[in-house]
Chain A
């Protein structure tokens, strides 16, 4: 494992000022899963005070990357989740993590890949759509809905072929950092798209920060803009009430503002927000691949969130959130873009 960033030591000394909002801590109640204790553990491991093995590094992975701790953190600019990812780098890997890495190596995705839609590649598209691993695994229809909405607005949309799947986030989460979407760079150079559009908040953060020579945009923002500009007509779905679960990745880590709510309102739906929403949203437990390597913990987090959501019909805008809420027992949970594209029927 690598020496953690110096700022992690401030966190290790901190009296855990954000622990009240850490969803993993709330779910497991294990002291070692609390934010400051994870930082303290990273420090003790790096300084040699503790042996580094698959068991002792396990709590470094007990994080859903939700950023709730950052909201309460007094250290400006410090983010615990990326610091923990850095501290994991180079292994050793707990059993669940090692298994996820094997799957990723074999299939290109930590979830194992679902059958892929055909690649659609052509030059100078208005958008090059990048579907992340979670979308491909659990929500190929979501990607299809995003592409279809852009096309309805008159855009030409190409799709990134299957081999370019990993945006790099999964590898980073699994303590095995690699390059960001290696094939994408050549593809962008050859196809010259006007923009790269992504549906997953983690892919968005990785690609937007990677220095691609083209703008990277969240699909939701693009669709909202096309609708606002009058280029996209949406079929009304209302009246009806839905509860919106704000994915951490779209509210805290990248601020989509009111775009999701406005899209739901645009199709005539009344949106109910749970007590914790917006930047104060509560995590579904699926972030940072927690659901892959520590499914029991992730399920506990998801159940808590589902109970707090109330409302029979839930809408969200992240494939992992939808999957996590479904696995926690949600009977009626939809993806926002699929819903507004008219394909929102869900089993």
Chain B
């Protein structure tokens, strides 16, 4: 199955003139190399296009605005010309959200990368959308602060990308997903109107329209900056791990901890495949980090320990946690696998506690049955008082048609997830990959999202083709 995305016809000369006016001569490019670079994210089909030597979804131009006013000028220009605009951070998105499938203009946010202000008394940082995660975290670290948002893609993703995908860091069980960390946004609506949301801890002045942009994947406007909640660097850390005979006991230990009010930062419960691969252990290994204020952290560590012991968890000490810490950003497995003819993907979903075991069994089982699958495994991470995220990894050696294997694997996984009941996506976003199942996920609200989109973006320019709107 080879994707073909016909671009929106544009007059390059008219576009060049319009962009030059909006952002100046050094603010845009029509060069082939820039357009090629902006035509992919980390969606596996886009990797396959490269391996097949195909150029798919080339935009007509790339633009690098530096300010909110320049973003507004670009959007007004593109709306007037009817040219699609696809926001692009660092292209680490895993579901094709940043792939400009209708051509047009890619709006690269990386020249808006300043950390504008660190506010120590209110524990906030105001940061521009194109700021790289690692650079932000280092800047905060120098002031002994942390965002607590550490996705595995920290070193290759931006603040704007996180907010647009409703991303989750590895310590989200304590610090929350990015939607819990965002306090206020600055951005530009599709019509070119800049906005700033009120800077207050909470509001009760009607629905938060700015929140529509959280998770909108660039379909409802461009985020240019955000106020994010930050924390003092944790003074204390407890690294603990256990192994359980089965998932039921491991999940129960975590559920009791969360429902008692405990908030460990890192909680990862690996199935027997992954436990054996990462830690050389049989059974389900639970890796945890509890951190924060010494008094609170000690109590949380004890709470967690007690719950794990009551579920007959066998303590493995700090070792597996340290192993995880060393490898937490290492995704080197994918490259050689792709090079050798495989397809690798990860699929994250969310469900309530009472469906967690079924979700694991159904999804891993369904993926295992897809012809060509060599391995399907999973772990639970990102926990809540009411449930958890299940993160499944699938590797297939399908022979010739890798794209169609990839599509079949997703089909199997999504059907299994919808069958059990939950959300078909926890933190990677919908992009292009989840579009076929969004209507079943959202029901009538999916149509409503389309109507909201048409109201905010009458010219229909913002990231068309994504989110199914």
Residues of A participating in the B interface, judged by any CB pair closer than 8 Å: 6, 9-21, 26, 29-32, 34, 37, 40-41, 43-44, 47-51, 55-56, 58-59, 72, 74-75, 275
Contact = CB atoms under 8 A, between A and B. Distances in A.
A77 to B, nearest CB: 12
B33 A9 contact: no
B148 interface: no
Interface string B31-61: 1111011100010000100110111000000
A41 B35 CA distance: 11
A13 B330 CA distance: 14
B50 A16 contact: no
Interface string B127-169: 0001011110000001000000000010110000000000000
Given A29-B108, A58-B33, 7 more contacts: A17-B155, A20-B132, A29-B110, A31-B110, A44-B36, A50-B36, A59-B37
Contact of A9 (B31, B329, B332, B339): B339
B336 interface: yes
Contacts of A29: 64, 108, 110-111, 113, 130
A111 B270 CA distance: 57
B91 interface: yes
A42 to B, nearest CB: 11
Contacts of A14: 331-332, 334-335
B90 A16 contact: yes
Given A15-B331, A31-B88, A43-B50, A10 B339 contact: yes
A44 B155 contact: no
Given A15-B156, A55-B31, A41 B329 contact: no
Given A16-B92, A50-B55, A41 B335 contact: no
A20 B31 contact: no
Most chain A Cβ neighbours within 10 Å, of B31, B54, B113: B31
Contacts of B113: 29
A19 B50 contact: no
Contacts of A72: 155, 329
Contacts of A20: 132-135, 155-156
B111 A50 contact: no
A31 B59 CA distance: 13
Most chain B Cβ neighbours within 10 Å, of A13, A19, A59: A13
A191 to B, nearest CB: 47
Contact of A47 (B33, B42, B53, B155): B53
B62 interface: yes
A8 to B, nearest CB: 11
A160 B27 CA distance: 47
Contacts of B273: none
Contacts of B331: 14-15, 17, 74
B231 interface: no
Nearest to A276: B138
Most chain A Cβ neighbours within 10 Å, of B29, B38, B50, B334: B50
B339 A32 contact: no
Interface string B53-79: 111000000101000000000000000
Contact of B33 (A19, A26, A41): A41
A36 to B, nearest CB: 8
Most chain B Cβ neighbours within 10 Å, of A10, A32, A48, A59: A32
Given A41-B37, A44-B36, A15 B54 contact: no
Contact of A17 (B47, B64, B329): B329
Nearest to B329: A17
Interface string B79-123: 000000000101110000000000000001011010000000000
Interface of B: 29, 31-34, 36-38, 42, 47, 50-51, 53-55, 62, 64, 88, 90-92, 108, 110-111, 113, 130, 132-135, 142, 153, 155-156, 329-332, 334-336, 338-339
A179 to B, nearest CB: 31
Given A17-B331, A18-B155, A31 B53 contact: no
Given A32-B34, A48-B53, A15 B42 contact: yes
A34 B155 CA distance: 12
Contacts of B130: 29
A64 B133 CA distance: 23
B4 to A, nearest CB: 16
B42 to A, nearest CB: 5
Listed from nearest, the 7 A-B pairs whose CB atoms lie closest are A74-B332, A32-B37, A10-B335, A20-B134, A29-B110, A49-B53, A31-B37
Contacts of A74: 329-332
Nearest to A37: B37
B228 to A, nearest CB: 18
Contacts of B42: 15
Contacts of B335: 9-11, 13-14, 75
A59 B54 CA distance: 19
Contact of A75 (B50, B332, B338): B332
Contact of A44 (B38, B50, B330, B339): B50
B332 A19 contact: no
Contacts of B336: 10
A34 B33 CA distance: 12
Nearest to A9: B339
A31 B111 contact: no
A30 B108 CA distance: 8
Most chain A Cβ neighbours within 10 Å, of B37, B108, B330, B339: B37
A13 B339 contact: yes
A31 B47 contact: no
8 contacts: A9-B339, A15-B92, A17-B329, A19-B132, A26-B135, A31-B34, A32-B33, A40-B50
A6 B336 CA distance: 10
B301 to A, nearest CB: 31
Most chain B Cβ neighbours within 10 Å, of A12, A21, A31, A41: A31
